[in-house]
Chains A and B, each alone.
Chain A
Amino acid sequence: METKKEIVLHGIPASPGIVIGKAYVFAKQAPRIEDKSISENEITNELARLQHSIDRSEKELQKVLQLTEQKVGSQKAKIFEAQIMILSDAVLFDSIRARIKKELKSAEYAVHREISKYQQMMMNSADEYMRERAHDVEDVKNRVIRNIQQEKLISRFEPNSIVISEILTPADTVLFSRNDVLAYATDFGGTTSHAALLSRSLNIPSVVGLKEVTKLVQAGDTIVVDGYAGNIIVHPSEETLARCNERKEEHLHFESALKEIRELTAQTLDGKIVQLSCNIEFSEEAENVHTKGSHGIGLYRTEGLFLRTENYPSEEEQYGEYRAIVEKSAPFKVVMRTLDIGGDKVVSNTSNEDNPFLGWRGIRVLLDRPEVFLTQLRAMLRASAHGEVWIMLPMISGLKEIRQTKELLEQAKTGLREQAVPFDENIKIGAMIEVPSAAVIAGDIAQEVDFLSIGTNDLIQYLLAVDRGNEVVSDLYQEFHPAVIATIRHIIIEGHRAGKPVSMCGEMAGDPVALLLLLGLGLDEFSMNPHILPEIKKIIRSVSYSEAEEIASRVLEMKTEDDVKDFLKVNLHTMVPDLLLE
């Protein structure tokens, strides 16, 4: 047998686990088409299936086009523009409809026959450009047929294979999981995409953001999906396979060791206790509070609820969702962040801005839309009758926003009191510290609120003036930049001076390398993606607070990110030798 060259692709780890299996290429799989005739009374139904498929295909392509423009560049995106144009070709689809009506053929057969005609003409062309266009036409044809056959598609999926796709909808993710999918690998998506979150809660390893995996992998190829490191390996060699199996064993062993500490406190060897909590977006994920051994939810992103519905969800809808999360998380607290739209989190009814990250987002939107804000505050207050709720405000840049919010909160409380609706009178309210101005005046802010929570993703981006989604500059995004560390230290000191707890809910809170530093700086609560939480707890239980303090004070003297990183890694390895770092 011919040995193909091993290819390693780097993406973003979305759900942990290592899996070896055969690829099932979801987007490119050529659908099977039979010459199927229909009866007269089936015509209406076939036409409806065709229209439904065209609509769905266009939606998919718009999404892929938009993502390709953002992540790969507008040149490559042009392919999809051409495909979308074909979908709106009235002449083409009129002839397809005519075939269904006059020749009494199934929708997929009519699409196949009509589009293949053009494809054949293009393939016959001597022009290289034209033969490439023939492949675009092929893609469009397959997509439309695949969407016509949607319901039949999943049944053709070979159980125990790895799904390769451009993007995965949450619905696809769930459907495949019912058919024993081994893993997912996709071109697009981030760790917080809905499909990534779902694959984590379904315990299916996945790697996203691989950019061109659908182009490089053929159906039936043997591949390794490494959901810890965020890699996939195509045509792995014997040695690679052996190494992967070894790593898999190590991880399984380590994970079973983590289960043993689930019920234990996050306490250092010398008795310092910190809180570990989960970041979630959907009520389904609230189960992690107990299964991962956390102290509650340190960040509940309410955007998920808002993005699912076309309009703003009603107070009742919000209350139902918030209450479900509070009840699932009891006896622990739930920190609910008020709606944080804008920036990269765009809801369809927000305006176009040149610089959305510096524009209308977070608390700014809410204060401009008091009716939306009041509805959300009322729903959160009502949920607080069923368990401990803290309210957290995103994108705070100064005291005025906090004072305005507190006035609205009082208004919401008064309304509920008048209607005799129960809520927690002493509900806590806190500010996210993610805008540099708020970090500078953290002491003043701490006087006004009950707690502070450091949002490192935005804080670092604003502090260093680096858009981490922009590949040209993303290597300048440094968690361990001395300015970032000094700022975090300042926020913690100022919070504590005012007698208020300080938590962190950005990605840094779940980074094992950052842990010793943050612990040593005195952070009270670490809120993170639930899947990393057991590992973080293990580290905390293996180190001493006094050593962490020593490490933090050494780090504060360092001048570059590289020095800090190396120093922290070495210390982590020495203190927790059995940790499996990627």
Chain B
Amino acid sequence: MIEKEVTIRNRAGLHTRPAAALVKLAAQFRSEFFIYKDGFEINGKSIIGVMTLAAEQGSTLQLKFEGEDEGQAMQTVVGLFERGFDEM
């Protein structure tokens, strides 16, 4: 299991389109993927879950990956956060 903290960088936050992109990307890996924010835990492969996070610009999230391809999964997903969901 690996964990990583990320910050939301794009202006609009984790709204519908980035949420969809995130879920789609996460679904490509076998590892389980959870996101923690303000005491909530949601499944990162669930669009309704990610939408629920209401993560606005500047907020920080804890990502947790667990499974055989966890390293690669983390690298790819963190990359998407760092690029601001390609919205910057």
A residues whose Cβ falls under 8 Å from a Cβ of B: 78, 81-82, 85-86, 88-92, 115, 118, 121-122, 125, 127, 129-130, 133, 137
Does B56 belong to the interface (CB within 8 Å)? yes
What is the CB-to-nearest-CB distance from A137 to chain B, in angstroms, rounded to a whole number?
A: 7
How far does the alpha carbon of A129 sit from the alpha carbon of B27 in the complex, in Å? 26
9 A-B contacts (beta carbon < 8 Å):
A81-B16, A82-B51, A86-B48, A88-B47, A90-B27, A115-B48, A118-B49, A129-B15, A137-B51
**Which residues of B lie under 8 Å from residue A125 when comparing CB positions?**
54
Residue of B nearest to A122 (CB): B52
| Shortest beta-carbon contacts, A-B, top 10 | A91-B46, A130-B54, A125-B54, A82-B16, A89-B47, A91-B43, A118-B52, A85-B47, A121-B52, A92-B48
What is the CB-to-nearest-CB distance from A81 to chain B, in angstroms, rounded to a whole number?
A: 7
What is the CB-to-nearest-CB distance from B45 to chain A, in angstroms, rounded to a whole number?
A: 5
**Which residues of A lie under 8 Å from residue B56 when comparing CB positions?**
127
Known pairs A91-B43, A92-B49. 15 more at Cβ < 8 A? A86-B47, A89-B23, A89-B47, A90-B46, A91-B49, A92-B46, A92-B48, A118-B49, A121-B52, A122-B52, A122-B54, A127-B56, A129-B54, A133-B51, A137-B51
* Majority DSSP secondary structure for residues of A touching B: helix
**CB-based contact B54/A127 at 8 Å:** yes
**Which residues of B lie under 8 Å from residue A92 when comparing CB positions?**
46-49
**CB-based contact B46/A89 at 8 Å:** yes
**Which residues of A lie under 8 Å from residue B27 when comparing CB positions?**
90
**CB-based contact B49/A78 at 8 Å:** no
What is the CB-to-nearest-CB distance from A393 to chain B, in angstroms, rounded to a whole number?
A: 47
**CB-based contact B48/A118 at 8 Å:** yes
What is the CB-to-nearest-CB distance from A171 to chain B, in angstroms, rounded to a whole number?
A: 30
Interface size range on B against A: 10 to 19
How far does the alpha carbon of A89 sit from the alpha carbon of B16 in the complex, in Å? 13
**Which residues of A lie under 8 Å from residue B20 when comparing CB positions?**
85
Residue of B nearest to A86 (CB): B48
CB-contact partner of B48 in A78, A81, A129, A137, under 8 A:
A137
CB-contact partner of B45 in A91, A118, A129, A130, under 8 A:
A91
**Which residues of A lie under 8 Å from residue B54 when comparing CB positions?**
122, 125, 127, 129-130
**Which residues of B lie under 8 Å from residue A130 when comparing CB positions?**
54
How far does the alpha carbon of A93 sit from the alpha carbon of B56 in the complex, in Å? 26
How far does the alpha carbon of A81 sit from the alpha carbon of B16 in the complex, in Å? 9
**Which residues of A lie under 8 Å from residue B49 when comparing CB positions?**
89, 91-92, 118
How far does the alpha carbon of A85 sit from the alpha carbon of B49 in the complex, in Å? 12
Residue of B nearest to A82 (CB): B16
B8-42 to A contact mask, C-beta < 8 Å, 1/0 = 00000001100010010001000000000000100
What is the CB-to-nearest-CB distance from A308 to chain B, in angstroms, rounded to a whole number?
A: 34
**CB-based contact A78/B16 at 8 Å:** yes
How far does the alpha carbon of A79 sit from the alpha carbon of B4 in the complex, in Å? 32
Q: Given the known A-B contacts A122-B54, A127-B54, are A89 and B15 also in contact in the complex, defined by CB atoms under 8 Å?
A: no
How far does the alpha carbon of A563 sit from the alpha carbon of B39 in the complex, in Å? 71
How far does the alpha carbon of A500 sit from the alpha carbon of B63 in the complex, in Å? 78
What is the CB-to-nearest-CB distance from A139 to chain B, in angstroms, rounded to a whole number?
A: 13
**CB-based contact A85/B16 at 8 Å:** yes
Residue of A nearest to B44 (CB): A91
What is the CB-to-nearest-CB distance from B41 to chain A, in angstroms, rounded to a whole number?
A: 11
**Which residues of A lie under 8 Å from residue B23 when comparing CB positions?**
89
**Which residues of A lie under 8 Å from residue B15 when comparing CB positions?**
129
How far does the alpha carbon of A130 sit from the alpha carbon of B52 in the complex, in Å? 8
What is the CB-to-nearest-CB distance from A305 to chain B, in angstroms, rounded to a whole number?
A: 39
How far does the alpha carbon of A349 sit from the alpha carbon of B65 in the complex, in Å? 44
What is the CB-to-nearest-CB distance from B10 to chain A, in angstroms, rounded to a whole number?
A: 14
What is the CB-to-nearest-CB distance from A122 to chain B, in angstroms, rounded to a whole number?
A: 6
How far does the alpha carbon of A127 sit from the alpha carbon of B59 in the complex, in Å? 13
How far does the alpha carbon of A90 sit from the alpha carbon of B44 in the complex, in Å? 11
Residue of A nearest to B24 (CB): A85
How far does the alpha carbon of A90 sit from the alpha carbon of B23 in the complex, in Å? 11
How far does the alpha carbon of A90 sit from the alpha carbon of B48 in the complex, in Å? 10
How far does the alpha carbon of A115 sit from the alpha carbon of B49 in the complex, in Å? 10
CB-contact partner of A121 in B16, B40, B43, under 8 A:
B40
**Which residues of A lie under 8 Å from residue B45 when comparing CB positions?**
90-91
**Which residues of B lie under 8 Å from residue A88 when comparing CB positions?**
47
How far does the alpha carbon of A115 sit from the alpha carbon of B56 in the complex, in Å? 22
How far does the alpha carbon of A47 sit from the alpha carbon of B12 in the complex, in Å? 38
Residue of A nearest to B40 (CB): A121
How far does the alpha carbon of A137 sit from the alpha carbon of B49 in the complex, in Å? 11
How far does the alpha carbon of A122 sit from the alpha carbon of B49 in the complex, in Å? 10
How far does the alpha carbon of A122 sit from the alpha carbon of B53 in the complex, in Å? 8
B45-82 to A contact mask, C-beta < 8 Å, 1/0 = 11111011010100000000000000000000000000
Residue of A nearest to B43 (CB): A91
How far does the alpha carbon of A375 sit from the alpha carbon of B45 in the complex, in Å? 50
How far does the alpha carbon of A90 sit from the alpha carbon of B33 in the complex, in Å? 14
Residue of B nearest to A131 (CB): B54
How far does the alpha carbon of A86 sit from the alpha carbon of B52 in the complex, in Å? 12
**Which residues of B lie under 8 Å from residue A78 when comparing CB positions?**
16
**Which residues of B lie under 8 Å from residue A85 when comparing CB positions?**
16, 20, 47
What is the CB-to-nearest-CB distance from B59 to chain A, in angstroms, rounded to a whole number?
A: 11
How far does the alpha carbon of A127 sit from the alpha carbon of B16 in the complex, in Å? 14
How far does the alpha carbon of A81 sit from the alpha carbon of B40 in the complex, in Å? 26
**Which residues of A lie under 8 Å from residue B40 when comparing CB positions?**
121
How far does the alpha carbon of A488 sit from the alpha carbon of B20 in the complex, in Å? 54
How far does the alpha carbon of A115 sit from the alpha carbon of B43 in the complex, in Å? 14
Residue of B nearest to A126 (CB): B54
How far does the alpha carbon of A127 sit from the alpha carbon of B51 in the complex, in Å? 12
What is the CB-to-nearest-CB distance from A382 to chain B, in angstroms, rounded to a whole number?
A: 53
How far does the alpha carbon of A82 sit from the alpha carbon of B52 in the complex, in Å? 12
**Which residues of B lie under 8 Å from residue A137 when comparing CB positions?**
48, 51
What is the CB-to-nearest-CB distance from B13 to chain A, in angstroms, rounded to a whole number?
A: 8
What is the CB-to-nearest-CB distance from A118 to chain B, in angstroms, rounded to a whole number?
A: 5
Interface-centre pick from B27, B40, B54 (highest chain A CB count, 10 A): B54
**Which residues of A lie under 8 Å from residue B48 when comparing CB positions?**
86, 89, 92, 115, 118, 137
What is the CB-to-nearest-CB distance from A124 to chain B, in angstroms, rounded to a whole number?
A: 9
**Which residues of A lie under 8 Å from residue B51 when comparing CB positions?**
82, 86, 118, 122, 133, 137
